[in-house]
Amino acid sequence: MKIDDALSLIREIPDYPKPGIRFQDITPLLAHGEAFIAITEKFATFADSSTLVAGIEARGFIFASAVANQLRSGFVPIRKAGKLPHLTISESYGLEYGDDTLELHIDAVAPGAKVLLIDDVLATGGTAAAAVSLVEMCSAEVVGLGVVMTLEFLSGREKLQNIQIHSLRSITS
Ligand code: AMP
């Protein structure tokens, strides 16, 4: 399936989770096997088996674990505060709707490792920037950020100036 046909399955839910937010609902895409694999195969071209694939909770996990499997490489979860059982490092950030903290297991990413970060939506960039910080705190390298969509009007790219962003769709307004 073509990437654009897969992306066309994403639906916009107005005023969710609060008024003014146009939520990008990826669940119809995930429910379509050919669409899901088209997206994850595309992300897999941005890395190889020497690269860890890190997913950002929660929707990033869905794509990142599939990509890691295709590459036969490892998957690392970057989670919201309090969810990881072992010692963590953490980074706080503001997002389009609220504030949050991301955490990474202290031993999940070795110094010098190469990491492909994956999430569904790049909005203000706070979430992805916090994830980048966590990887860099481990003295590892973010080789790219794969996102299904970028909400360009929220200027998230400005917070990620040194990061190679692989965005499959730009939403400009
Ligand atoms: P931000 O930190 O502002 O770039 O927000 C990105 C994070 O929030 C991602 O993990 C997305 O899953 C989620 N997110 C932000 N805005 C939206 C949106 N309009 N639709 C779906 N998810 C969103």
Dump pLDDT digits (tens) for 108-158: 999 999 999 999 999 999 999 999 999 999 999 999 999 999 999 999 999
C-alpha–C-alpha distance, residues 10 and 8, integer Å: 5
Catalytic sites, residue numbers: 59, 96
The Cα angle at residue 2 between residues 42 and 65, in degrees rounded to 5: 35
pLDDT band at residue 99 using 50, 70 and 90 as cut-offs: confident
Please tell me the distance between residue 150's alpha carbon and the centre of ligand 1 in angstroms: 9
Q: 83: closest CA among 116, 55, 111?
A: 55
C-alpha–C-alpha distance, residues 122 and 151, integer Å: 6
pLDDT the model gives residue 116: 98
Shortest-distance atom of ligand 1 to CA 23: 20
Please tell me the distance between residue 3's alpha carbon and the centre of ligand 1 in angstroms: 21
pLDDT the model gives residue 95: 62
Tell me if 38 sits within 8 A of 3, measured CB to CB. yes
User: Sign of torsion, CA 110 113 119 121?
Assistant: positive
Name the pairing type of β-strands 88-95 and 165-171. unpaired
pLDDT the model gives residue 39: 98
Average pLDDT of the chain is 96
pLDDT band at residue 94 using 50, 70 and 90 as cut-offs: confident
Ligand 1 environment, Cβ below 6 A: 21-24, 56, 59, 95-96, 119-128, 156
